[in-house]
Structure 1
Amino acid sequence: MQPATPLRMGRIGYLNVLPIYHPLEAGIIPHDYELVAGPPAVLNDMMSRGELQVSSCSCFEYGRRPERYYLVDDLSIGSHGSVMSVLLLSRVPLRQLDGQTILISGETHTSVALLKLLMRNRYGLDVSYTTGSVTSALRRGMPPVAFLAIGDEALRLRNHPDYPYRVDMADAWMEWTGLPFIFGLWVISRAAADAGILPDDPGALLRAGRDWGLAHMDTILDLTGYGCPLSREELTFYYLHGLTYSLNSREQDGLRLFYEKLADAGMIPACPPLCFYSAR
């Protein structure tokens, strides 16, 4: 059955997914989807309301509402170490944050949940959180003692001279657990899949985009370089070493452990099974 309205696919509006979406946006790989860009938290809400059929999604969203989604096989945004674009930046050494308030972005659910786990369970710090725009706070002359920055904002602010103390969230997780950390997944609406409105396997389309992007890294670097705070060498490291775009057994182990810790902390109802989409 073909849908009465165009199928809609969510696209995180950050540089880290450019290798996946550029070939779809440029028409290099044809598809039947309207691409909708937005920050992770907005796409999470759109998926939960049924406004998107497929989307990049925070792994926190899947963890709290797994009954609504199928996972796309072998596709994620994660890191096996320093990710560079999810950072806690602080004016004072980490231990001096005890009793302080950290400014967190409203654009992310997963990174905030990871920060809270690390602060409490890894570092044993009692901190408070307030949500707001990091860039706006800095421009208004009301700088927080520490803030969590993600995506392009983190890349831009990572060497801020007033914040010399930095914790890379993925690196901290790896040191804590010995496993990769997965920030984002791709999910398919169970309602859309069960209604039979998906013309083909969305996962195959997205993996084809990823494979094209990684095989044509010079093109991706040329596109990313405009206005980007990273040098070409830094961008190359970011795409090829800072990030992982797979969801193999080791990445799945890291994801399951994160869900177990979230469930133990009462942040999600239970550790969800990883249910992958299978094309009909």
Structure 2
Amino acid sequence: MGLNSPITIGRIDYANAWPLFHQLEERLDRNGFEVIKRVPSELNRLLQTGELDLSAISSFSYGQNANDYVLLPELSVGSVGNVNSILLFMKEPIARKRPETIAVTTTSATSVNLLKIMMTLHFECNPEYVPAAPDLGKMLETSDAALIIGDPAIQASWQDQGLYVLDLGQLWNAWTGLGMTYAVVAARREVALIDPESVNKVYKALKASKEYNKVNLGPLIDQACLQLGGVSTYWEMYFHSLQFDFGSKLQEGLKLYFDYSKQLGLLSNDVKLTFFEDQSAQ
């Protein structure tokens, strides 16, 4: 598979990725680059098939395809503690009763496997996982618990439904002492080899967008209130709870996640984090 023309870039269609991608298109030549918005599971598929050249993807998808991808440094969606948008809704508290069936989102891979790791190794139970669209009411009609991610998880968390809610970011941090990286930005290895200049342009534009948005959250907060509801104080807390720099604590947490995934047979191979090298820095 070769390059697409224009270069295609995948953007996660959830608020948690806005600080990476807001104003990205203004920083790129629109004739040479195209940004495509999808949920993570769809971006995972499109990058794997070569329909995208570069994309934000589920961290787990990188683990599945690490030999074919290179990571863009200092770019990710993660948290050290609460993530606030990867939530397990339960009918009963887990300390009282382990769930026997869990409806799980079909929109991501990282969170579902993170849940499987913690259920197996931390809570020492083996529930049945039932893939389902992210509709909390329907999910709980036939399951003891439901895992929802992204904007639907946030909106569900605002409703007082008498449910018990676990934040997977907080659970992971309390269990391991580490952060968790839910999404990374990766380029197809062949694209990085054939056209490193274009990958570098996208990389620099993403870094510039990230740095700008971290200190100029106002427009993102306003957009979230308008598009998704809620109040500005919630969204300010939400964006500040996320980390986008893929620092050492997040990398360490992701490596442990991959190790556990291999241990449980969720991944077939060991995973090495391989990074794209910024050509202009050499």
Percent pairwise identity = 26
Deviation at 1:269, TM superposition (A): 1.7
Alignment partners' CA distance in 2, 1:225 and 1:61? 30
Task: Name 1:193's counterpart in structure 2.
Answer: 192
Task: Name 1:146's counterpart in structure 2.
Answer: 145
Deviation at 1:250, TM superposition (A): 1.3
Task: Name 2:14's counterpart in structure 1.
Answer: 14
Query: Is the 2:20–2:209 contact (alpha carbons within 8 Å) kept by the matching residues of 1?
Result: yes
Deviation at 1:125, TM superposition (A): 1.8
Alignment partners' CA distance in 2, 1:221 and 1:160? 20
SS at match of 1:23: coil
Instruction: For 2:193, give the aligned amino acid.
Output: D
- The size of the alignment, in residue pairs, is 275
Task: Name 1:220's counterpart in structure 2.
Answer: 220
Q: Does 1:181 align with 2:173?
A: no
Task: Name 1:124's counterpart in structure 2.
Answer: 124
Task: Name 1:30's counterpart in structure 2.
Answer: 28
Task: Name 1:252's counterpart in structure 2.
Answer: 251
Alignment partners' CA distance in 2, 1:200 and 1:192? 8
Give CA deviations for 1:93-115 in whole Å, capped at 9, x if unaligned.
Answer: 11455362110011110000000
Alignment partners' CA distance in 2, 1:51 and 1:227? 28
> If the length of structure 2 is used for normalisation, what is the TM-score?
0.91
SS at match of 1:188: strand
Task: Give the superposed CA RMSD.
Answer: 2.0
Task: Name 1:59's counterpart in structure 2.
Answer: 59
Question: CA 1:193/1:268 → structure 2, altered by over 3 Å: closer, same or farther?
Answer: same
Q: Does 1:133 align with 2:163?
A: no
Give CA deviations for 1:230-269 in whole Å, capped at 9, x if unaligned.
Answer: 32111111111x2000111111111111111111111112
Question: CA 1:108/1:141 → structure 2, altered by over 3 Å: closer, same or farther?
Answer: closer
Deviation at 1:196, TM superposition (A): 2.2
Alignment partners' CA distance in 2, 1:120 and 1:102? 13
Unpaired segments of 5 or more residues in structure 1?
Answer: none
Task: Name 1:238's counterpart in structure 2.
Answer: 238
Task: Name 1:164's counterpart in structure 2.
Answer: 163
SS at match of 1:226: helix
Alignment partners' CA distance in 2, 1:80 and 1:106? 24
Query: Is the 2:221–2:235 contact (alpha carbons within 8 Å) kept by the matching residues of 1?
Result: yes
Alignment partners' CA distance in 2, 1:225 and 1:266? 41
Deviation at 1:160, TM superposition (A): 3.4
Query: Is the 1:91–1:162 contact (alpha carbons within 8 Å) kept by the matching residues of 2?
Result: no
Instruction: For 2:258, give the aligned amino acid.
Output: Y
Alignment partners' CA distance in 2, 1:4 and 1:164? 46
Query: Is the 1:57–1:184 contact (alpha carbons within 8 Å) kept by the matching residues of 2?
Result: yes
Deviation at 1:270, TM superposition (A): 2.4
Runs of 4+ in 1 over 4 A off after TM superposition: none
Alignment partners' CA distance in 2, 1:92 and 1:160? 17
Instruction: For 1:66, give the aligned amino acid.
Output: A
Question: CA 1:96/1:141 → structure 2, altered by over 3 Å: closer, same or farther?
Answer: closer
Alignment partners' CA distance in 2, 1:149 and 1:266? 23
Query: Is the 1:89–1:147 contact (alpha carbons within 8 Å) kept by the matching residues of 2?
Result: yes
Task: Name 1:46's counterpart in structure 2.
Answer: 46
Task: Name 1:205's counterpart in structure 2.
Answer: 205
Alignment partners' CA distance in 2, 1:99 and 1:30? 47
Query: Is the 1:155–1:229 contact (alpha carbons within 8 Å) kept by the matching residues of 2?
Result: no
Unpaired segments of 5 or more residues in structure 2?
Answer: none
Question: CA 1:97/1:109 → structure 2, altered by over 3 Å: closer, same or farther?
Answer: farther
Give CA deviations for 1:191-248 in whole Å, capped at 9, x if unaligned.
Answer: 11122265251322211111111121112212221042432111111111x2000111
Alignment partners' CA distance in 2, 1:125 and 1:141? 19
SS at match of 2:239: helix
Instruction: For 2:28, give the aligned amino acid.
Output: P
Alignment partners' CA distance in 2, 1:131 and 1:81? 26
Query: Is the 1:256–1:271 contact (alpha carbons within 8 Å) kept by the matching residues of 2?
Result: no
Instruction: For 1:48, give the aligned amino acid.
Output: Q
Instruction: For 2:71, give the aligned amino acid.
Output: L
SS at match of 1:149: strand
